[in-house]
Structure formats: structure tokens, C-alpha cells
Amino acid sequence: RWEERLPHVKRVELEESTPNLQLLEMDTLTANGAIHTTTSVRVCFPDTTIVYKQLRTPALMSVHNGRWHIAKGPSGCAVTSTHTVVLNPDAVVPVLGEGSTVEDARAFVRDALGRNSTATMLLAKEYAERAVRER
């Protein structure tokens, strides 16, 4: 139900024919209103970690791997999201405009990934806390 719960997610197709191995195709909305489609393969370690590799990346990235980690503690959970990215320098000017640099692309990608990860974590937190209150 990501499309209902995450404003930047417009479409999701998730296949899991082998437990904890997933193929994910997702359309997300960028800050400038464009929609881009990514395809990822994900390996899930229940209750702790999801690692993924994007097989189809946005134009500015030639590689994007990531990890979501959940650490349970006495007062709740801590969730971290990490990203490893290789930028596509040939896409910088077509995507960001004339005069843009690789440094501009680095800042743009970092901001976009951080914004989407933070939004996802905050909305998941909100959902989990509401579910506990409504029990």
C-alpha cells in the first residue's frame, strides 16, 4: 500500500516468488514534478535488513545500491537507510541544465535520496505509532 502511504510513490509492482527475494518496480515523483521508474532486486532479512540493487536507475545514476536497517532497542526501533551511488556524468547537463556540474548532480541526488528516505521513515513511524495506539 505504498502508493496510499507515501506521497512520492505513484506506482509499485512487487514480485516475491522466492521468500525474501523481491523484484520491485516503482514510479516515484521527483521534486520538480517528473516521474521516474526504477527497478530493483531486494534481499530481505526479516525484522532487520533490506538490501537492494537498482537494475533500472534514474538518469543521473549509473549505479544505486542501498540498505535499510532496523535495530530494535528498549525504547523502540532505530531505522537507517544508506545509499551507494555512482553518478552518470553524461546525464548532468541533460537532467539539470546547462552549466550544471557533477557536484550539482551529487547534491541533487543526495537531497532526493535523503528526502525520500526520511519521508518514508517518518511516515512508517507515524503508521506504527498509530497502530499501537489503536490496539
For residue 32, pLDDT over 80 is answered with: no
Give the C-alpha distances (Å, rounded to integers) separating 24 from 17, 39, 75.
12, 6, 32
State the Cα–Cα distance between residues 74 and 118, nearest whole angstrom.
22
For residue 107, pLDDT over 90 is answered with: yes
- pTM for the structure as a whole: 0.86
For residue 26, pLDDT over 90 is answered with: yes
Contacts of 135 (CB under 8 A, 6+ apart): none
Tell me if 55 sits within 8 A of 47, measured CB to CB. Answer: no
Range of the domain at 16: 2-133
pLDDT of 80 reads 95
What is the C-alpha end-to-end distance of the chain, expressed in Å? Answer: 20
For residue 131, pLDDT over 90 is answered with: no
State the Cα–Cα distance between residues 67 and 45, nearest whole angstrom.
11
Average pLDDT estimate for 20-25: 97
Question: Could you give the number of structural domains in the chain?
Answer: 1
**Domain CATH code at residue 38:** 3.30.530.20
pLDDT of 21 reads 98
pLDDT tens, residue by residue, 63-91: 999 999 999 989 888 999 999 999 999 99
Other CB atoms closer than 10 Å to residue 135's CB: what's the count? Answer: 4
For residue 48, pLDDT over 90 is answered with: yes
State the Cα–Cα distance between residues 72 and 55, nearest whole angstrom.
30
- Which of the 8 DSSP states describes residue 58? -
State the Cα–Cα distance between residues 25 and 67, nearest whole angstrom.
17
